[in-house]
Structure 1
Amino acid sequence: MREWVKIYSFFLILLIFNTICIAQNHIVVLHTNDTHSQIDPIETQTYGNIGGVLRRFQLIQETRQKEPHMLLLDAGDFFQGTPFFNFFKGSAEVELMNMMGYDVVTLGNHEFDNGTAELAKQLKKANFKVVCANYKFKNKKLRRIVKPYTVIQVNNVKVGIFGLTASLSGLVSPSTLQEITFLDPIASGKKVVELLRDKEKCDLIICLSHLGYTPVGDNLISDQMLAEAIDEIDLIIGGHTHTYLEEPEIVNGTRIYQTGSKGTRIGKIKILY
């Protein structure tokens, strides 16, 4: 894919909408991470009254009207952080993500705060795909919902999307930890990239990563290390560390993105071919 594609990326701060008009075949990827149940706008003293689901939904709708060949992706931790999660246990977030039309998400550590059974219950309501290639679950319902990868055809481009998530050691309860087998992210990533390239014949490979821009705690693998270790990932859309990358970082030919936290920004990537 890297031989025939040009990629433009920029951010939509949730008060201002910008676009680029280029008369060429393209697809658009909108992406978020670490929105943390932030359904209301952020309070004025923190971020100047920006963000919130209504603004996000408006920008997504405006983009879809102009860019019909669009994907909407999230890199995890869409649960936990406000009383909405404490009261509704994730159902409000899933319902709103359905409304906004998310296509694919990966799981963050906070999706497991109420355990695997409750997570399966909430994700069963999702209209979007859930991908994670380096976890194995004891919970059968969760195994049916969460897949290593998915493939979506967008404007004649075959897009393979897979997920990787950080170790949950020290981040969830011991009982939840016993329900999940954590696999090495790099080994898992290499395996799924090979499948997407050789079996699925994908034109574009995207990793939704909740590993973090840099290593955190017991998680020793970062997005930068992942890009260095695996040659054929085109885009890494990251989360976990709440990093705001104003421009993508390019490592080993892979572009790494992350949009901060709490839904204050939406990343926009335009891929020309």
Structure 2
Amino acid sequence: MRYKSAALFAVATIMIFIFVFSKTYADQEPREVKILFTHDMHDHLLPNKGEYNGSTVWTGGYSRLKTVIDEEKSGSKNIVLVDAGDYSMGDLFQSLYSTDAPELRIMGQMGYDVTTLGNHEFEFKDTGLTRHLYSAKNSSDKLPEIVSSNIVFPGGDKMTKSSYELQQAMKAYGVKDYTILNRGGIRIGIFGLMGKDAEDCITTTEVSFDNVVESSKRVVKKLKQEGVDLIICLSHSGTWEKASKSEDEILAKKVPDIDVIVSGHTHTLLKMPIIHGNAVIGSCGEYGNNLGVIELVQIPGERWSLKNYHLKHIDQSITEDSGISQSISKFKTIVQKEYLNYFDMQFDEVLCRSPFSFIATEQIGKKLQEDTLGNLISDGYIYSVKQAEGKDYEPVAVAIVPVGTMRGSFVEGDITVQDAFISSCLGIGPDGKSGYPLISVYLTGKELKNLCELDASISPMMSYAQLYMSGVDYTFNPNRMILNRVTEAHLQKPDGTQERIDDKKLYRVVSGLYNAQMLATVGPKSFGLLPVVPKTKEGKPIKDFDSYIIYSNSGGHTTELKEWLATARYLQSFPKTEGVPQIPYYYNTLQGRKIIDNTNSLSAILGNPNSIAVRLYLVVLAVVVVITAAIVIIVRLVRKKGKNKAAV
């Protein structure tokens, strides 16, 4: 019995030793986490059509993305799948945003853990986002969590019905400051932000957003108090070429306890991550064309460090996930029934054929110059307004398309209704249907010139402010003083001849609802130097833009003339080749609507100044006169004092 007890004691001692040793060894083992991420997906559930080396290629698509996600998860532990916002607004599926919420429901099916809100999630106003959240929640589908850490609702009497309802919808969905996920005993804190530039892009919400740095410090402090091991920020702020202006780089420097920043909003594609201190900043581009992968490792007692970073390109070689494909097909059927039938259009209907490719989407607006796609879309506005108004048509002098509303390009081959929609997909009209409508306003000739100057002077600093205009051409010299770069501007008549712009005359201008509203902000933002006030035909400032929407007839009933619909109808109007309308080669070349004059002589730089430059020159002259007078007085006093001393 004594020997048996001794044996049992020995075995127990060995087991305890093994347990303690193994636990101690395990505690010393490095820990690893794999972060899979996307951002700026913009409803591109289906593959995206593009061009590579002269051939049409298809990239992205959620069914292929799901296959890659599963491959990355296979054989790996401690994985999180996240998205940094702008998951909506980009193609025809956005028409179901408020009624069916296909974005969140399919993201849930794909296994996303967490996402955040981007500026485009507010595209359908607070009411649209409210309905979107309830629609997703009521579907009973698996959904990703949503974190929004710096959103601020109006307080007290400023709280409106729509903002209150949005607040309640966020509570019902479960939107919160942050969430904590547990992966293999590793506690991962995740929070989300809306950056300053992204907030400035929103004109359709009554909520606001706190400073990202201060909000991050507050949330990070809470997460550390909760004992998290890793902190991930889903930031819809972005990175920029200049590090001093790059919001997420600034965030990484000022809040060093953040381990990973998934950077959305600017659609940046970082083949290598940006590292600031211990923070890893990753961006994988747009539209689900890539899946970002960040692998981290932590040695006990130390901060997390980067083990691997790569982007998995989603191309045609990847097999589609059948479950996701089936879900997309179901939503596609709903799009046709609930949206496209209203406009008498079919999802995959071929509108025309292009014998050439336009500039790629990501290159539009990168340079201050005329753009052939901008020419086509703006020309299409004038054509479609003329067709819609018929015998009541009043000639449109100018049509304006800002680069920020051009969301897709056309490649050689067939162009479908889906392609036309993607090219101008943003917003919603008073009819509650997806797509901004065209509206009619009047501007003076002087204001048209101001728009040219705005384009020439401000676009180099704010590329998304660039304008493409039909009906006007101008020449500018980038070497001249800002706000004084335009040297000539003319109306361009349909026959190609030029007409002098009368500063005092009112001209009819057509643009999208969003752009027309933004034009009214040009004056205040330029400190009154470039006033632009959209007016009625009688010259009175417009307060209610909805009252000046242009309507059309579709399928036997009246509809808003949406931006995308105007483009689609213009594409259908071209002469046919083999029974299919074909885009004329006219749109394969520039038409002299923006002429760059790089002359750098003194006369070219200072000559023919506009009123802004004249005022500045007068100020400079006045300062020079004052300084000269002061110098003369001082010299005289010094001389007088010197003479007095000599006399003594």
Please tell me the TM-score bracket, short chain as reference. 0.7 to 0.9
What CA distance in whole angstroms lies between the structure 2 residues aligned with 1:133 and 1:232? 16
| Pair 1:75 & 2:84 matched | yes
Amino acid at match of 1:151: I
The equivalent residue for 2:270 is 245
Q: Structure 1 169/230 Cα, relative in aligned 2: closer, same or farther at 3 Å?
A: closer
Q: Which one of the candidate residues 95, 104, 118 is aligned to 1:94?
A: 104
Q: Which has the higher helix share?
A: 2
The equivalent residue for 1:135 is 151
What does 1:34-73 correspond to in 2, within 5 Å?
34-45=40-51, 48-73=57-82
What CA distance in whole angstroms lies between the structure 2 residues aligned with 1:221 and 1:249? 11
Q: Structure 1 169/75 Cα, relative in aligned 2: closer, same or farther at 3 Å?
A: closer
How much has 1:182 moved relative to structure 2? 1.6
Q: Secondary structure at the match of 2:287?
A: coil
The equivalent residue for 1:10 is none
Q: Structure 1 211/170 Cα, relative in aligned 2: closer, same or farther at 3 Å?
A: closer
Q: Secondary structure at the match of 2:47?
A: coil
The equivalent residue for 2:234 is 208
Q: Is the 8 A contact 2:269 2:285 kept in 1?
A: yes
| Pair 1:117 & 2:113 matched | no
Q: Which has the higher strand share?
A: 1
Matched length: 244
How much has 1:133 moved relative to structure 2? 0.9
Q: Structure 1 152/249 Cα, relative in aligned 2: closer, same or farther at 3 Å?
A: same
Identity of aligned residues (%): 33
Amino acid at match of 2:64: R
How much has 1:72 moved relative to structure 2? 0.5
The equivalent residue for 2:114 is 104
Moved over 6 A (4+): none
Q: Structure 1 159/221 Cα, relative in aligned 2: closer, same or farther at 3 Å?
A: same
What CA distance in whole angstroms lies between the structure 1 residues aligned with 2:31 and 2:199? 44
Which consecutive residues of structure 1, in runs of 5 or more, have no partner in the other structure? 1-22
The equivalent residue for 1:156 is 185
- Give the structure with higher Rg (CA): 2
Amino acid at match of 2:49: E
Q: Is the 8 A contact 1:51 1:265 kept in 2?
A: yes
How much has 1:29 moved relative to structure 2? 1.1
What CA distance in whole angstroms lies between the structure 2 residues aligned with 1:207 and 1:171? 21
What CA distance in whole angstroms lies between the structure 2 residues aligned with 1:68 and 1:57? 18
Which consecutive residues of structure 2, in runs of 5 or more, have no partner in the other structure? 1-28, 138-142, 154-162, 299-648
Amino acid at match of 2:149: A
Q: Secondary structure at the match of 1:233?
A: coil
TM, length-normalised to structure 1: 0.82
Q: Secondary structure at the match of 1:49?
A: strand
How much has 1:170 moved relative to structure 2? 4.4
What CA distance in whole angstroms lies between the structure 1 residues aligned with 2:128 and 2:287? 23
What CA distance in whole angstroms lies between the structure 1 residues aligned with 2:184 and 2:295? 13
Higher relative contact order (CA 8 A, sep 6+): 1
Q: Secondary structure at the match of 1:48?
A: strand
TM, length-normalised to structure 2: 0.36
Q: Which one of the candidate residues 185, 196, 199 is aligned to 2:212?
A: 185
Amino acid at match of 1:132: S
Deviates more, 1:107-116 or 1:162-171: 162-171
| Pair 1:27 & 2:33 matched | yes
How much has 1:215 moved relative to structure 2? 8.9
What CA distance in whole angstroms lies between the structure 2 residues aligned with 1:205 and 1:196? 8
What CA distance in whole angstroms lies between the structure 2 residues aligned with 1:263 and 1:206? 20
Amino acid at match of 1:106: T
Amino acid at match of 2:205: L
Q: Which one of the candidate residues 185, 194, 201 is aligned to 1:171?
A: 201
Q: Structure 1 186/221 Cα, relative in aligned 2: closer, same or farther at 3 Å?
A: farther
| Pair 1:259 & 2:284 matched | yes
* RMSD across aligned positions (CA): 2.2
What CA distance in whole angstroms lies between the structure 2 residues aligned with 1:54 and 1:99? 11
Q: Structure 1 24/203 Cα, relative in aligned 2: closer, same or farther at 3 Å?
A: closer
Q: Is the 8 A contact 1:116 1:142 kept in 2?
A: no
Q: Is the 8 A contact 1:27 1:155 kept in 2?
A: no
What CA distance in whole angstroms lies between the structure 2 residues aligned with 1:169 and 1:163? 14
Q: Is the 8 A contact 2:32 2:296 kept in 1?
A: yes
What CA distance in whole angstroms lies between the structure 1 residues aligned with 2:246 and 2:274? 16
Q: Deviations over 1:33-80 (max 9, x none)?
A: 001111111114278211101110111122233224311100000000
Q: Structure 1 75/25 Cα, relative in aligned 2: closer, same or farther at 3 Å?
A: same
Amino acid at match of 2:38: T
What CA distance in whole angstroms lies between the structure 2 residues aligned with 1:87 and 1:205? 34
Amino acid at match of 2:223: L
How much has 1:128 moved relative to structure 2? 1.3
